[in-house]
Amino acid sequence: MSRILDGRILLLVISFLTSLRSTKVLSEWKKCGDRECETAMSRVRTTTEYLGPDCRYLNFKPGEEITVYSKLSRKNENLWTGSKGKDFGYFPKDAVKVEQVLIAEEVEVLTKETDFLCLHGDKYTFE
């Protein structure tokens, strides 16, 4: 019985440590199309396959269209945020080609804690 309990505690610790990694702040600043980051900035086409390291990232294959809503700035300018169908997440800007710019000027705003949470189905996972 104690072996089963020890195994469950070990799994709980591993799960907790994994969840800490997935809520890491990727940047304190981001650029958006408006102050609320609700306006689409551009449409891009994927040029390569990409599988993100955790649930905050958008996975895709070559040739898919993504609508971009924000771009991390200052600390981590390589990551953009966008949607592909119902999926939403971060992806490397080097994996896409801009097809259409939808805004005239970008606005830089502070990121929020909720910018770095995983979205599973219809609910947010606060870890």
**Residue boundaries of the structural domains of the chain:** 26-104
Q: What is the predicted pLDDT for the residue at 123?
A: 46
pLDDT value, residue 6: 53
* Nearest one of 107, 67, 71 to 88, comparing CA atoms: 67
According to CATH, the topology of domain 26-104 is SH3 type barrels. (2.30.30)
Half-sphere exposure of 82 (CA within 13 A, CB side): 26
What's the pLDDT score for residue 83? 96
5-9, 52-56, 102-106, 116-120 — which is least confidently predicted?
5-9
Cβ proximity of 119 and 55 under 8 Å: yes
Cα–Cα distance for residue pair 110/13, rounded to 1 Å: 32
How far apart are the C-alpha atoms of 56 and 111, rounded to whole Å?
A: 15
Instruction: Tell me: pLDDT of 17 over 80.
Output: no
**From CA 63, how far away is CA 110, in angstroms rounded?**
32
Q: Which amino acid is at 105?
A: E
Work out the average pLDDT over 59-88.
95
Q: pTM for this structure?
A: 0.75
- On the question of pLDDT at 22 being above 50, the answer is no
* Token code pair at residue 96: 């896409």
